[in-house]
Structures are given as C-alpha cells and as structure tokens.
A and B are shown apart, each in its own frame.
Chain A
Amino acid sequence: MNDLTQPIRSIWLSLFWKEWHEHKWKLVSLTALCTLGLCLFGLSGPHSLQQGVHAIAHFYAMLAGIFLGMSTAGRESSRNTLPFLQSLPVPMWQPAAAKLLVVLCTATLPILALTCIYCVWHTFYSISGIDLSQSNWYGPNNKFYNWGISNWLVATILSSILVASSLILWIAAAGANRSDEIRAGAIGFLIVCLIWLPLAFGLNIADKWDLPMLKYWVGILFAAAPGGVAFVGTGYGSQGSTDWWQNFLPYLESAIVGHGCVLIWYLRHYGKAGPGTSRTDGKTLALASSGYQYLAPPMRSQLTAIAWKQVRETGPLALLAIAGVLLLTTISHFTNDYQVCRHNLGETLGGITASVCFFVTLVTGIGVFLEDLKPQVDQFWRSHPVDYRLWFGVKFVVGATILAVTFGSLMLLALLLSDRSLFGGDPHPATAVGFTGLVFLLIYTLSMATYCILRQPLYAAVLTFGLLFAGIIIPQLICHHFFDTTLPSQAKLPLLLLSQVAATFVAWKAVKNNWQMGEI
C-alpha cells in the first residue's frame, strides 16, 4: 500500500488506508504494552499468567477505551486536519465511520494478541507438565472456577473488548469536534460519569426499598451505558441456568439499541461545526465593533504571566477531576453493599481519589505542553523573548501544584470523613503520604517528558504506562533473580528520586530542543 503509483480504487479503501497509516503505530505500541505486561507477570512464575491476562485485559480495556476514544474525538481538530477532511467530496459520516472502525480494530487486536500469547504459554506449560489450573488464582474460591479455563478466557477477552469498544464509542461521541484530545477526553469522562450517576442511584434505591422491577429496568439501562454491557454479561454468565439466554436477551437488546443510538449521533455530528470551530460570526462582529475599548493592564512579571496561563490551562481539568471524583464517589457509595455511613464514604472517596488521581495526573502531565508544542504555537511563543527555562520551570511547578492542591484537598476530606483510617495501618502515615505524593509527581513528570519527546498524546500515555510497568516490576525481578530477595524498602525512595530527576531532565531537554522547527 505504500507504493501509491496507482490511485486507490474506492473512497472506503482510501479512508481506511489513511486511518490505518495513522493508527498502525498505536496498534504496535498498545500490543507491545500488553505483551510487556504479560511477560512481566509471566516472569513472576507460570501461575501468575492467568491473573496477568485478567488484570491486563481489564486494565487495558479502560486505558484503551479512554485514550483511543479521546484520540478519535479530538485528533483531527488538534492537528488542524479537520478542515481538509471536511473539504473532501464525501459526507462526513464516511470518514467518521472509517476512523471508528480502525480505532475499534486497534483496540481489539492487542487483546487478541494477549490471548494468543497466553495460549502459547499455556500450551508450553502443559507440554512441560505444569498444570496451570492448579494455580491459586484459578482455584475453587474464584468465581470463574466453574466456567472452565476456555470459557473463562473467552469471557475475559470478550468483556475487555466490549468495555473498550463501548468506552471508545461513548467518549468519541461525547468529545467529538473538541479542539484537542485532552478536552475531548475530559468532556467524555464527565459525560460518562453523569450517565453512571442516576443509574447508580436507581440501583441503590431499588436495593434499599427492595424494588426488583426497578432493579431490573436500571440493569437494562446499565447495559446501554458506557462499559455497562460487559458487566451485565458477566453477571448473567455465571448463572448457568437453561433460561440464561432468555434472561440475557433484553440486556443485549438494550446494549445494541443504546450503543446504536450513540453511534448514529457520532456519525451525524462528527466533523460538523462544533465548539471553537466557528469563525467570525454575528457575536464576534458585534464585539468587534464595541469590544475593543477596554484593555486590562499588563501582567506584572513574566513569572506571573506564565503561571496565569498554566492555571488557565490546567485549572479546568482539575475542576473536572474534582467533579468526576465526587460523582464517582457518590455512585460507588450508593451502589456498594456496605452500610451507608460517614466512615465508609471517606474510605470510598479516598480510594476513588487515588484511582482518578492516577489518570488525571497522567493526562495533566501530557497536557502541560500539549498546546505549546503544537508546531505553529511552538513557533509563536519561542519567537518572543521568552526564556525557555523559566517557561518550563513555572509551567512544571504550577501544574504540579494544582494537582497537589486538588487531590490533596480531596484526600484530606477523605481522611476527615474516615476518621484518619486511610493510612491507619501504616506505622508512619506522614511518610506514606509523602511517598505517595512523590509517586504521583513521578507519573506527572514522566507523562510530561514522554509527551515532550513524542508530541503525540496517545503514544505518550502508552509509553508512560510501559515505563511505569517496567519501573515497578524490573527492579523487583532483578532483586529476586540476582539477590534472591525482594526490593528493600530503603531502596525505593532513592530509586523514585533518581527516576524523578531523570524524567525532569529528559522533559527539560525535550522542551529546550525545539525539534518541530527542523520540519520545513
């Protein structure tokens, strides 16, 4: 396909060719990430493999769903290629459909690759006389025990694919036409939370007041919600009754109808003039004639100016994160079986804050230089007398501070609600808090560094995950294989600090060296 001496014969082939070229390296990098993860589990021993497949497939589904969804929604706008796409003499639903299909394949193939690798590994161990079904994880206490290993594998793979596909579709639809991937992802994430919230309330009310019909209908609606289809399938799959299919069918219908509607919405709206794409309109003209009278005084210093800019760029994401955490906490609090009380609310808030903090830290790190390093904007700020060291330093510090304040406040609230039991088991809670803070700082710096090097949000996210996987597991393996011991706790802090310094240095060098200028 690379040698285009002949024109491509059809519109669809042409569109698929374009999307394939834009996604092939994403596919490779996501497959490599899954494979690396599984290999690292495998190195811990053959019995960890199954646990590895389960963990990686589900974690990957969430990761791929969010990041491929935001990439689908915002990449063309971010690269300023949407006007070109719009100018093609085809209805916009065709490029949108081609993009979505290729993205779904990109999300699915790494999971299938994971399955293949597992099967090969499983066969190898079977030949070697090691029975993986005797693993602790795959034991009678596991809810998948009765399924048999083949069915378990199919269910795991299928549910991962469904979760990833559902999230991609929802986030792509919700974030379509946003100006970049980060905004698309943020809006998509918020909408997903807003959909889950009433459903969670519904389930809670149905449980509390014992309303089976309400529970049934909320369950049906849940199948249509982002990622809900997989959970419904899992729940009914373990029943093993003869009318399983009869029970399952309404959920399947709901999932198909719900996702079908979202698909139609996406196809109808993708590439249409959306927020931020309109040019001079009536409002602008009115402002043009009346709004140029007032000019605020200049900012006092370069530091203030850069800090103000960073607050404006990261602030909305932080506010969105707070809203997301509070929504998810509410959902989780009301859908769990435990007693509704202040202590449990605090525990839930703490857990969700930590999980959301991970994703938001990653996205914020990528977003710090997202706009600055776009080719034309890169030239704009560099052509002014801006000291890149100040630019880098202030942006880095302000971004990290916003994250620390945001999640610090949420964690403090969680601590207060749970009566300080979040770190209750730790003999040195202050040290634990400090260490956790450093871990998140490293995630932030690492994602910033990978974006500054690669200048592609999705690749940056994948590389960050890969580096985190490797950084967590490889030192453990080295200690295990060469010294027959676990990584001593005293070594963790120096390793963390060393990684922090290295990541900061790489990010700084990547901002300093404006490679984009080399492209003519």
Chain B
Amino acid sequence: MSDPVIEIKAVSKSFRRNHVLREMSLEVERGQTFAFLGRNGAGKTTAIRLLLGLLDRDEGEIRVLGLDPTEQPLELRARVGYLAEDQTMYGWMRCAEMLSFIAPFYPTWDHELALKYAREFEVPLQTKIKHLSKGQNVRLGLVLSLAHRPELVILDDPALGLDPIMRKQFNRDLITHLQGEGRTVFYSSHLLYEVEPVADQVAILDQGQVVRQCDTEHLRSDVKQIMLGRDAVSLVDQGSILDQRPDGPEMAIIVEGAEAILDKLQREGTDHRVVDLNLDEIFEAYVVGQGETEPVASTNR
C-alpha cells in the first residue's frame, strides 16, 4: 500500500520572470532513500525550500508527512531534519551552546542522542562554530538535524565541499545508518556516483521539471545505449531517444524503454549492440542529451 512521505503535484515556482519549477511532480515513499538529482541551478534547492515551507508555491499541491508546508510549517519542521548545502550557523556560539540552544525548539529532541552523535561524528563541543573546519561544520549540522529523531531527513547536497574521502565516508556511514533506522532520506545531489550505491529511488530534475523518476535498478535496466546502423535509427520511436550521436559508420543512441525497442529491433532483424550505462551516463543523457523527452508525473515508468 502506498504511504507517501512527500507528495508534490504539478508545483510551479517563479522568481519574477525566472521559472524555476514548472509543474513538477514526484512522490517519495516512507523508508526510502530518495536521490533527487539535477544540475546546479536545476531547481533542487527551491524544491526543498518549498518542502520545508520556506517558500510559497505559485501553483500545485505539496504534502510532506501529511502536512501542507505552507499551512503548518512549524509542525512539519519539528518532524523533519534538514541539512542545507554550505550551512552557515551563528559563528560566535560554541557547538555545545548551539545544541543546547536548538533543543527547546524540538518537542522530540533527545539530548543524550545529540551527545552520542556529537561523539560519533567527533564534533568539538567546546569550539566556537566560526573556528570549525568545513567537515566539522557539516557534522555539527548533521547532529542538529538528527538529534530529534526526524521521520524525514532532507539533505541538500550536504557533502558539497568535503574532500573525496570524507564524501565517501559520509555517504557510506551516514546514509547506511539512517537506512538502518528506517528513516526516509531525501538526498539532493548532482554527483550521481555518490548516490548510486545507496539510493532506492531516483528522480532527475531538469529545467524545473522531473524528467524521470523510478527505482534505481529499474532505471539502469530501462535506459541503454544501442549501437546500430544509421538507417535503422528510423525504426526507433523518436520519443524514446534521449541522446544520439554518430560513431563511425554507426549511430550511438541512448533510449528509455530499452526492452521494447530491443524486441522490435530483434523482430526486424536489425544488427545492433547494447551497452550498459552507469547512472552518470544516464543522467547526462537526460539533462544534456539531444533527444526529446517529456516531463513525467510522479509515477514509475
């Protein structure tokens, strides 16, 4: 039975003439780790701000944990843990002061858990925030966003600015930890290789629209690169082609709905080769490919 934690239906948001989100739709099920992918400026942060009620939508409907973020922002934020990209906090506070300060705002705050996380993440509690390194700052932000045992954790490119080793540790340890606790994680990023091992579902945002949302495994099997003769390209439905480029005497096309297309090519007896793609290549095909794609609703395709 469907138990969506996040429901976004045909949401649009503009800043003056700049249309950041255009009828965007997606759904996140409880307990999933959801990778929200898009290039810089695609609208990921705006979508997250809408989810938290930090911005008002122009059109559409949003429900997070069954609440409308615009109508009940405080109730919602009390149940959500949020870590922004490049989060800035009050530099004059010590880490311990920050934890004590934030605690009363959350009815479910667990100070023992905060201390446990602070020890695990090696947050120097007696150090002023302005003296923290980038990594320590991110880890303090994590403690703040997890110590009230949130039902939903929203991470907006949190590992941005960390060195590669720390990024790997962050993804492996933290996401695995959260998955182990059964929390829903909404993870926004533009680096696919990082989310590939941990994400249950993927949504690709491009120019303010979700161009694809589905299970990670399904996406890998559904999107393939096919090498075939130039004349044979006409056999493939143009709407399924995400990207195409000449490769010697052949054409390399990246398609979605690969199974059906391969069946058809087999039936027609056309020579072809299939190349598996990783998420990076699939993402690239969706956002910079030279095919034509339509935005999708919040259904798995």
Question: What is A's interface to B at a CB cutoff of 8 Å?
Answer: 179, 276, 278-281, 283-284, 287-289, 291-302, 304-305, 308-309, 312-313, 371, 374, 376-377, 379-380, 382-387, 514, 517-520
Contact = CB atoms under 8 A, between A and B. Distances in A.
A386 B97 CA distance: 17
Interface of B: 15, 18, 20, 41, 45-46, 49, 52, 54-55, 73-78, 82, 84, 86-93, 95-97, 99-106, 109, 111, 114-115, 118-119, 122-127, 130-133, 136
A301 B109 CA distance: 12
Contact of A374 (B88, B102, B122, B133): B88
Given A299-B100, A379-B54, A517-B55, 17 more contacts: A276-B91, A279-B133, A281-B131, A284-B127, A284-B133, A296-B97, A302-B104, A304-B104, A305-B102, A308-B101, A309-B90, A377-B88, A379-B84, A380-B87, A380-B88, A385-B78, A520-B20
Looking at B87, B89, B109, B126, the one whose CB has the most chain A CB atoms below 10 A away is: B126
B15 A520 contact: yes
A383 B96 contact: no
Contacts of A288: 122, 124, 127, 136
Nearest to A296: B100
A291 B101 CA distance: 18
Given A301-B104, A380-B87, A520-B20, A294 B55 contact: no
B131 A380 contact: no
Given A295-B118, A296-B96, A384 B105 contact: yes
Given A295-B125, A376-B86, A383 B119 contact: no
Looking at A297, A298, A382, the one whose CB has the most chain B CB atoms below 10 A away is: A298
B104 A298 contact: yes
Nearest to B79: A385
A295 B92 contact: no
Given A281-B131, A386-B105, A295 B87 contact: no
Nearest to B86: A376
B100 A376 contact: no
B69 to A, nearest CB: 11
A430 B117 CA distance: 56
Nearest to B148: A385
A514 B73 CA distance: 14
A305 B104 contact: yes
A383 B124 CA distance: 23
A292 B46 contact: no
B10 to A, nearest CB: 20
A383 B100 contact: no
B119 A292 contact: yes
Nearest to A291: B126
Contacts of A377: 88-90
A290 to B, nearest CB: 9
B119 A300 contact: no
Nearest to A375: B88
B87 A287 contact: no
13 contacts: A276-B130, A280-B136, A284-B133, A287-B127, A292-B119, A295-B100, A295-B115, A304-B104, A305-B104, A305-B105, A374-B88, A383-B82, A519-B15
A309 B109 CA distance: 19
Contacts of A520: 15, 18, 20, 41, 45-46
Nearest to A379: B84
B118 A292 contact: yes
A312 B20 CA distance: 39
